[in-house]
Chains A and B, each alone.
Chain A
Amino acid sequence: MDTRIDFYPTHQHQGYKLRPGRPVPFGATLVPGGVNFAICSRYATSCTLVLFEKGAATPLVEIPFPEVFRIGNTWCMVVFDLDYERIEYGYRMEGPWDPGVGHRFDSTKILLDPYAKSIGGRDVWGKPPDWNDPYPHRARLIFEDFDWEDDRPLETPLADLVIYELHTRSFTQHASASVKHPGTYAGLMAKIPYLKELGVNCVELMPIFEFDEFENSRPNPVTGETMYNYWGYSTVGFFAPKAGYAATGPLGMQVDEFKNLVKELHRNGIEIILDVVFNHTAEGNEHGPTLSFRGIDNQTYYMLTPEGYYFNFSGCGNTLNCNNPIVRMMVLDCLRYWAAEYHIDGFRFDLAAILGRDPWGAPMPNPPLLESLAFDPILAKCKLIAEAWDAGGLYQVGSFPAYGRWAEWNGKYRDDIRRFLKGDEGMVPALAQRLQGSPDLYGWNRRGPTASINFITCHDGFTLYDQFAYSQKHNEANGEQNRDGGDDNHSWNCGVEGETDDLEVNVLRQRMIKNALAILLMSHGVPMILMGDEVGRTQRGNNNTYCHDNDLNWFDWSLLERHTDLFHFARQMIAFRKTHSLLRAREHFGLSSTQADFIWHGVHAWNADWSPGSRTLAFLLRERQAGQGGNTNPVLYMALNAYWDALPFQLPELPVNYHWHLFANTALTSPQDIYEPGHEVPLEPYQGSFLVGGRAVVILVGRP
């Protein structure tokens, strides 16, 4: 760093040169000649900076913050001449131990800075840690000198996204991935060509903030294999990328590696959304470890009962007190940091309903955190996506406080489409709503179809293959006697539970997967595909694989060869969506001539069957003026038959000089099941109806 003559030490401690620091920004910041350390606590009575040589068991030095270095509730100090590359830092906080009122200060603990931008201690995934380490997750200093060149967030319109949800390690850890650095950011980067070939333009990464895979790790009672906190929904540090996901983690270069991944994704036109977990932390309840927040300011950071115990709206032991102004500020600082410093395109908030609860757990009509995020000028172009429910029973799909900005994981879309596909009665009206971008949920306050992140599968629950191979969950491998995981899967095994050699069953399963992909990619709203669903990835009926570092979670790339037809189908469906702006509506209901308009049909044209016993629906999607006054834009038709027998669907009449062309028919096998957009097969002239196979969908294009 350059030296400045006006920035000089004023104090000393054991040979370390010090001066009063700046209270903001919080965290450790490189300044001329030194490092500015700033941390706040409302109830601490004193604070000590603890410095380590990298990896050392005992501190290099402990420097109490002089009282004159405290401004309000913030301790701030510049320490000069530190070796940035070789030190790790933490804090000790003095304060009351009085759990009944929420204070759990313990100066024997060395605490992680909530604003730590790089965290050591779990540098190599799965490497057993030193359980006696007095400071297991260690804050490190970073340079923010990454060469972004001309990169910036892509700002792809939400309506145009096709999201692909993936787990960083699972994506390339399987030997079949054949990448140089399996299970890492670098490995994911090596698979960007695959993502491009598939056609997705956004990846949503399951948590990559630093977490501890060893949290609650235990041997599998059946196999003896270690079960981990594999998915990572339990944050240790909100500002630091998971070191164990970096091939360069042992070198402490995870920040560079992750930024490089973002830059490469952007270079290939792919956005990156992070799944962020602000509802709880890795410290658990009163029996959990004291790593950071609990020892810094328990009463501020956590929602506590009147008796000082932890509210558990997350189902994970504690609940972050997100609408406390200090915590709110941290969340905002964190997201701003990722948006500005990492060029992240958007965030998906795990159990986001919690973010709308007040410090006592009650849902608020106007949650300040959600409002702050919606109107923040730095996050202004970032996608904000809520998982609009929590483990405390608050379900806000369709009613999440949106401020015109928030989209939602549409859980009703998932459930309704699953039920229609498996043939439940009474689902046709709901299906119509979901195809239109759920105006019943989002039309009332003009949120539009892009408020709906449509998905049929996600990391929680069955994969798409398992959705049609298992009628019951099979979670025995989780070691909880199959008690964990949801029971409301709305799945159907097509006649045989699990793997089978029955050709007819397997053909039906493939068709059901294609039906699901077709509906997903024909629906208004924003489609999200789960990693591997495009090639029939299975979790062998396990619908809660949170703890498995094995092929229950890993993407088996040999599936790409075995299910070439599925991949081809998914790829063409994505291409079809990209080709037709009709499918990417920005608003519900077309009021202008160029907006998409749904016209409902059934087995009989113009006569959709909305009755409870119906399992069929068809629709025409067109601009109002298509075929008139020189407007030659295509019209799209989709027939959905969830009935078990084939049914003839009467086709609606096309504008003059328009002809029907077949794009997809899931009743047929590859390669007749789908065609390249623009190369659809013309139907016979004057063909007035189309025989849609049992449990199949058909997509036609009408054009001159």
Chain B
Amino acid sequence: MAFSAIFEMAGSEARITLEGELDASVADQFRQTVEHAAQDKPQKLILFMDKLQFMASAGLRVLVFAKQRMGRDVAIYVIGATGPVLNTMQMSGFHQAVYLQESYP
């Protein structure tokens, strides 16, 4: 399934909806989306991952980048991550750096 990362601002929240498979070939596309979001200086970054099927280490690298790019004051929420995507975050410890939630209002 083709990867897509769709960004929108909702008030002070940057929302990115991820779909498909996030591997090395598309990681830069995700990275640019995060860069784009960071320019609006959001207070929260909400990553919707319920339709993300797979995340390779390259995808995780972008999440780490997002955390560093946004700064400590910007809370990152990962919404709806399941299966291998959730596993990848848990085993690499990234789940501790974000708020994992099943849904987001």
Q: A residues engaging B (CB < 8 A)?
A: 83-86, 143, 145-147, 149, 181, 185-186, 246-248, 251-253, 256-257, 259-260, 263-264
Contacts and interface: CB of A to CB of B under 8 A. Distances in A.
B68 A147 contact: yes
Given A145-B68, A147-B94, A260-B92, A253 B58 contact: no
Which are the 9 A-B pairs with shortest beta-carbon distances? Answer: A260-B93, A85-B24, A256-B92, A186-B91, A85-B58, A253-B57, A145-B64, A248-B91, A257-B91
B61 interface: yes
Given A83-B24, A86-B24, A248-B88, 19 more contacts: A84-B24, A143-B61, A146-B64, A147-B67, A147-B93, A147-B94, A149-B97, A181-B91, A247-B87, A248-B92, A251-B57, A251-B88, A253-B57, A253-B92, A256-B60, A256-B92, A260-B91, A263-B93, A264-B93
B39 to A, nearest CB: 16
Nearest to A184: B91
Interface of B: 23-24, 27, 56-58, 60-61, 64-65, 67-68, 87-88, 90-94, 97
B27 A85 contact: yes
Contacts of B88: 248, 251, 253
25 contacts: A84-B24, A85-B24, A85-B57, A85-B58, A86-B24, A143-B61, A143-B64, A145-B64, A147-B64, A147-B93, A147-B94, A185-B91, A246-B91, A247-B91, A248-B57, A248-B88, A251-B57, A253-B57, A253-B60, A253-B91, A253-B92, A256-B93, A256-B94, A257-B91, A260-B93
A249 to B, nearest CB: 10
B94 to A, nearest CB: 7
Contacts of A260: 91-93
A186 B93 CA distance: 10
A450 to B, nearest CB: 32
A86 B27 CA distance: 12
Contacts of B91: 181, 185-186, 246-248, 253, 256-257, 260
B14 to A, nearest CB: 19
A185 B24 CA distance: 24
A259 B23 CA distance: 22
A252 B61 CA distance: 12
Contacts of A186: 90-91
A480 to B, nearest CB: 38
Contacts of A252: 57
B90 to A, nearest CB: 8
Contact of A256 (B24, B57, B65): B57
A324 B58 CA distance: 39
A247 B87 CA distance: 9
Contacts of A181: 91
B93 A85 contact: no
Contacts of A185: 91
Nearest to B65: A145
A251 B93 contact: no
A248 B59 CA distance: 14
A149 B68 CA distance: 11
Nearest to A147: B97
